[in-house]
Structure 1
Amino acid sequence: MRYILICKLKTKKNRGEHKAIGRRRGSHCRPVGKMSWRLSLGCKQTKMSPSEILLLSFGVLALLSLAECKKELTLSERVQQLSDAALKKPVLRFNGDKFKQYVKGTPRNYSMIVMFTALAPSRQCGICRHAHDEFQLVANSWRYSQGYSNKLYFSLVDFDEGPDVFQQLRLNSAPVFMHFPPKGKPKKVDTLDIQRVGFAAENIARWVAERTDIQIRVFRPPNYSGLLALVVLLALVVGLLYLRKNNLDFLYNKTTWALGALAFTFAMTSGQMWNHIRGPPFLQKTQSGNIAYIHGSSQGQFIVETYIVALLNAAVALGMILMVEAANKRDDVRKRRIYAIIGLGLYAFCFSLLLSIFRSKAHGYPYSFLLK
């Protein structure tokens, strides 16, 4: 059997009776016999039945539950806090607790686009900074658009601020863009495939529209670097023509025009225009921590990959030119033979590398040469 002590404590200021439930540490109650207690200030024993103990336990649990519920924000409070914060900063920074409260908390009537990244200099993630700039551009465009509402928010979780979130979602690379819908859990299509489409602001906005039916028109700030480069180039050309106004034979040089045409061809066939339109990353780290220079899909590419392909195309062209020159020249036979061997080796090796790269991107391509 259990007892509750109802102790009558007297004070100098107030001689009223104060009730204290449970055994109070520091009082002068001490056990006497087996099931009785005595208080030097005066104690009264009260016997409780098992049903009363059970009711009291349920009451305490109910009070604790109510206290915990009061700590949780209601939906309207969460939306109000998100709206107020988004007006100041379109991209909200969350740690583990805020992510759990605003992104995973239920119920929700809004979509959340979250960027998981690692912006600390010690992480040495250059791609993360570039992706953050594009993500910030989309968030700013949404914030200042005419259709802005509280149905969509943009947030960011840095690895150093919320490592528990990365562990919970099993993320081992960055950057990652995920959409958390108002109802249910994110699906596979709620993660942006940056290896296929890149992370340019326009591509992120298009993906957001596919997942939320909210159209975002991206407003890029004016970039005068291209115009400045064009003005400098025109100034150099005009200056060169002015200095060589008495001798313009170089304009009729076939070699100069041929080199210019080849450079333009190599740039276009390597995918430079695709890079300009899609804005892919320069390179990317794999899940094992290695650096990937070649994209593993035929639907995407890296910037450094276009440089590699352009150099290989140039090497193939150079090998072909050496073989042609070896056949047409009337020089020493030994020199012609060296040209032919170097040209043939350069052509065969670089063309084999090109086929190997194509096989790694177009899975199932059956042909190869020298290299697999």
Structure 2
Amino acid sequence: MGHTRETAALVDGFVPVIDLSARGSAHGRGLIADAIGKACESSGFFSVVGHGVPRELIDLMHTTTNAFFELPDAEKDLVANRPGVAGFRRFGGVSALSLDQETPPDLCEVFASHVTGELGEEERDRLGDYWAPWKMANIWPGTPAGFQETWHEYMSAMTELSSDIMRLFASALGLAEDFWDDRFDRHTSALIANYYYPQLEPPLPGQLRRGAHTDWGSLTVLHQEDGLGGLQVLQTSGETSEWRDVPAIPGSFVVNIGDLMALWTSGRWVSTMHRVLNPERGNRSSRLSIPFFHQPNHDAPVEPIPALARPGYGHPPANGMTSGRWISTKMVKTFSTEP
């Protein structure tokens, strides 16, 4: 599959590979939107190539972020997550708790930042009358050099790419390309780095690098480290289920939808369970993955879009629920057992 073909090419498999390089033309956008729609109806996952994000920026983001996690704990703790501030967490949470499933803690460290974390305190306070991570200020390490600048540049690139994928989503659903604009003009997106450190001790029964979960929001764009697998997606057919590997394709991003998009589309599109496996015993390598969670405005409604609503589809979580409260509730569950 050439990355310059005027098609949205698919590779056989549960998670297709879609070439975005033709999205500059109306014909190309139509083909790409059709391929995306099919993927979101079946697995909710696809990989993208031809996305236009410079490889140099991706490599710099990876190198700079990995260098931070390799610092001594005392240096990383200087930018530790604390009340009012988002930064480094030694404890990666318990992903399965977001679905009310109890497992041992996930085996990873985390660094988090939010697009709203650069706003002033008064502006952030207006982003919901409840606890939420996007109401916290970002904190940045001084080492390695250029960390903050690299994260800002990467976050901007992810915002631009995600915004265009949302336009393609709208087209795939038969909506105007600008349909989502008023739900994302004050978006609360987050850039997260998951550092899966070397496992020097055997994990506990049921303990994974990331436990099985769905994503909570609208859209995730993930960069996996080339050559290091571990991400799996649950394929369900009738009464049978099977975990399927998602390969790390050089130069690609893995894209998946979350719970909000499934709710907005009345279940036409699926938010699929996924997890990150442990390495084989004796393999003491680390792994870095960097997801960008493109989250809507905190007050965006959680209810089916009228044009897509269909009889018999399950009700949203609660009448009057907003995306902010939905995501905040999931976050609180994930970190409810923090030591």
**TM bucket by the smaller chain?**
under 0.3
Which structure has greater helix proportion?
1
TM-score (norm 1): 0.21
Which structure has the bigger radius of gyration?
1
Q: TM-score, normalised by structure 2?
A: 0.22
Q: Which has the higher strand share?
A: 2
